[in-house]
Structure 1
Amino acid sequence: MNYFIIIALLVAVDQVFKYLAEFYLKPISTFPIIKDVFHLTYGQNTGAAFSILQGKQAFLIIITSIVTIAMAVYLIKSLKKQNRLLLISLTLIISGALGNLIDRVRLNYVVDFLDFTLINYPIFNTADIFVVSGSTLLAYFMLFANPNNSQKEG
């Protein structure tokens, strides 16, 4: 399986959704899918997760680029090990990081559009879903599925 093709496809999906949000949601601000539960709401985030580091675009671009390159190198080196959970987690994280990086470089902000109004959760996007899903899988791999993870019995 070519994980870099999957990365390209996931980044394309993310960018298409963000384009649609820019085109259709920006003029109307929000569209309720399930009223007071889940809306499509247009947002521009100039920070990182939960809007931390607002306005620090250059810093976020540099850090995201360095981390993404390091993860891509690690992904290439991990292809020989054939641990699918590790490879899928890295693929998802890289895809999400690239999706948001493209926004930062192109627009100077990240387009957000998924809004769980029921729990007043911050608006997010598909790239964020990829990063969180990949990070969750990576944490599981590191804690439970990694054959090199030896736990001492006490």
Structure 2
Amino acid sequence: MKTIKQLLQAKGYAIKSIGPEESVFDAMQLMAANNIGALLVMQDNKLVGILTERDFSRKSYLLDKPLKDTLVKEIMTHQVAYVTPDYTNKDCMALITEMRVRHLPVLDNDQVIGIISIGDLVKDTISEHQFIIHQLERYIYSTPR
């Protein structure tokens, strides 16, 4: 089973982030422009929260004010579930299921080095299963009958 370090090496380390004092309107524009479902909320190179589409859909309407006047810090998730590079896909799937989240920042010595989504984990799991199936098929068809 792959570690998150290996998964990030294949996927890439790029993250998209926004500051807590930025507007939710700007955050939604950034998400839309990058076709992503979450932004890491960073202040002074430190992870202070995460803003997801779920945060937006569930919290922004409660404030009853324009998106341009709503700050990221008002609707972001402050307590962020995260992983380190030595976690495995299986570890992350368990955490995502338990915490009911879709994105996990990857931290190494308190520094953000990437982000893993449930889509990344599912894609990796499918790839691993396809490899196993292929190996089993090769074994079956190469065995004399």
Normalization by structure 1: what TM-score? 0.30
Q: Could you say which structure has the greater relative contact order, defined with CA pairs below 8 angstroms and 6 or more residues apart?
A: 1
Higher alpha-carbon Rg:
2
Normalization by structure 2: what TM-score? 0.32
Q: If each structure's helix is expressed as a fraction of its own residues, which one has the higher value? A: 1
